[in-house]
Structure 1
Amino acid sequence: MTRTDPSWQFTRAITRRPGESVTHGLRAVDTGAPDLGLMLKHHADYVAALRAAGAEVVELPPLEPFPDALFVEDTALCLPEGAVLMRPGAPSRAGEVAEMAPVIRGLFAEVREIRGPGTIEGGDILFTPREVLVGQSARTNAAGIAELRAILADWGRSLREIRVPDGVLHFKTDCSLLDGQTILATGRLAQSGCFDGYRVILTAPGEEAAANAIRYNDVVLMAAGFPETAESLRKAGYRVQEIGNSECAKLDGGMSCLSLRF
């Protein structure tokens, strides 16, 4: 079933401030501990950018027992029909969903949940007007995807499974939605053909980390420090706002990871 509802037009967002425990967050490669003070500044800039783009932001307090809890996107999938509570693939993050569940249930009339035994994280899910793309990764497995597929079928939405390239944490580490027909992606992901039928704007060589951006209404929020990719987006007609992300990047986090948008 083809949908026409814009999947980048929102009114609300949920974020969570990082806590002192964030220095113990998960990371694929240790590039040094994040600077909490600088991270808090970047996070405040991020929240301010969401508000400027039209968001009513629910800003949750830190969760010290869960160092990665600022990456709220992995805990739920928010769609016009309702929300789905995820089941994270990283054991240390499993408790984050229980903390997020009351917030989600207070905002959505229809809430489903992934019960397992499969696992799935929001960072592996790209929602477009025509389909929901889900990447199978180290955090999201076939059983988790199958359970989500059944939920989405009830809502009249189709799911297409994608294989995430080796060494890439999440599907959306390497891609983001710019509009109903356009994807920002790395070359290593796009060359798989998973975006056939879409217009693809590639990140500049050496700027692969720029692929994790978010379109929120009329603005594309992207990490600062990737000038060639930012210029490509501006030339393509997008309004771009760059936000510092150096500290979240040390924990494999990007723009989409830091909020739930609906």
Structure 2
Amino acid sequence: MTDRSFRFTHAISRKPSASIIDGLRAVDVGTPDLDLFHSHHADYVQALKDTGAEVTVLDALDAYPDAVFVEDTALCLREGAIVMRPGAPSRLGEAAEMAPHLKALYGDVRAISGADSYIEGGDILTTETEILVGRSERTNAAGIEELRGLVADWGYTVREVITPEGVLHFKTDCSLLDGETVLATERLAASGCFEGYKVIYTAAGEEAAANTIRFNDLVLMPAGFPATRDRLIQAGYTVREIGNSEAAKLDGGMSCLSLRFTPTR
């Protein structure tokens, strides 16, 4: 078993813009504090750099309030990158903005292009053996099918799963911890989508901790979920807690804030 699903040499992140106060949100729980968001984002980027990765931090995009959540714009694999087609109309332009940065690093960059295809990176969990894609309000069957065709010659198997009702993205409720282990909420795991994997559950009332990222030897998780943090530490993971209160106001988490990959040319 390799570890291509969580060991990376590169990451791309983007600074939050002043327009983020107009970002999409399922429920309005308050306006993000831009200064605090910048502070949290700086801590996040530093944590990625501390693993030894090369981290590119792109300038803010005022025209796209949600552009800080770069993960939704692309799927980055060892063999190449796939530019997504976000399901939120206001975010369609973000993918085009990301494409040149990926082409500078990858020899093979492909794109979801069907007029009826929608898919966002937040619905995609890549493991050592397959790519799980959650059908959601942002990702439809046509998008999943197009992705399946685009990665077939790279040897990847795509498996469609269902994102729970009321949950924005599949990875809102889960994340990869290593080649055989996922962190997940009980409501998501109950669907049976993780059969064959070891599952560590978020603690009761700490479901928002499910969106972490395993990046090289660190597990980055949002601060404020001590019981889930302790479960990860007890399982042998090295955990770094990052403030996420402002991103959370816009339904954002740890994975949303970066693209993580090892490019090949």
Q: TM-score range by the shorter chain?
A: over 0.9
| CA displacement 1:1-20 (0-9 Å, x = unmatched) | xx734310001100000010
Query: Which residue number corresponds to residue 229 of structure 1?
Result: 228
Query: Which residue number corresponds to residue 239 of structure 1?
Result: 238
1:137 has 2:136 as partner: yes
Change (3 A) 1:179 1:94: same
1:98 alignment partner AA: A
Give the conservation status (yes or no) of the 8 Å contact 2:20–2:65.
yes
2:134 alignment partner AA: G
1:16 has 2:14 as partner: yes
Query: Which residue number corresponds to residue 252 of structure 2?
Result: 253
1:87 has 2:88 as partner: no
The CA distance in 1 between the partners of 2:174 and 2:246, in whole Å, is 20
Query: Which residue number corresponds to residue 197 of structure 2?
Result: 198
Give the conservation status (yes or no) of the 8 Å contact 2:212–2:221.
yes
The CA distance in 2 between the partners of 1:222 and 1:4, in whole Å, is 23
Gaps of 5+ in 1: none
Query: Which residue number corresponds to residue 159 of structure 1?
Result: 158
The CA distance in 2 between the partners of 1:20 and 1:256, in whole Å, is 21
Aligned-residue offset at 1:54: 1.6
The CA distance in 1 between the partners of 2:52 and 2:28, in whole Å, is 36
Moved over 2 A (4+): 3-6
Map residues 178-189 of structure 1 onto 2, 5 A cutoff.
178-189=177-188
Give the conservation status (yes or no) of the 8 Å contact 1:7–1:129.
yes
Give the conservation status (yes or no) of the 8 Å contact 1:213–1:220.
yes
2:87 alignment partner AA: G
Q: Is the partner of 2:156 in helix, strand or coil?
A: coil
Map residues 38-77 of structure 1 onto 2, 5 A cutoff.
38-77=36-75
Query: Which residue number corresponds to residue 111 of structure 1?
Result: 109
Give the conservation status (yes or no) of the 8 Å contact 2:223–2:242.
yes
The CA distance in 1 between the partners of 2:161 and 2:59, in whole Å, is 34
Query: Which residue number corresponds to residue 175 of structure 1?
Result: 174
Give the conservation status (yes or no) of the 8 Å contact 1:120–1:141.
yes
Q: If the length of structure 2 is used for normalisation, what is the TM-score?
A: 0.97
Give the conservation status (yes or no) of the 8 Å contact 2:17–2:60.
yes
1:218 alignment partner AA: D
Q: If the length of structure 1 is used for normalisation, what is the TM-score?
A: 0.98
1:218 has 2:217 as partner: yes
The CA distance in 2 between the partners of 1:235 and 1:77, in whole Å, is 31
The CA distance in 1 between the partners of 2:55 and 2:163, in whole Å, is 31
Give the conservation status (yes or no) of the 8 Å contact 1:4–1:130.
no
Decide which of 30, 33, 37 is 1:32's aligned counterpart. Answer: 30
Q: Is the partner of 1:145 in helix, strand or coil?
A: helix
| CA displacement 1:149-186 (0-9 Å, x = unmatched) | 01111111101000100000000000000000000000
Aligned-residue identity in percent: 67
The CA distance in 1 between the partners of 2:88 and 2:245, in whole Å, is 23
Decide which of 91, 98, 101 is 1:100's aligned counterpart. Answer: 98
The CA distance in 2 between the partners of 1:227 and 1:192, in whole Å, is 26
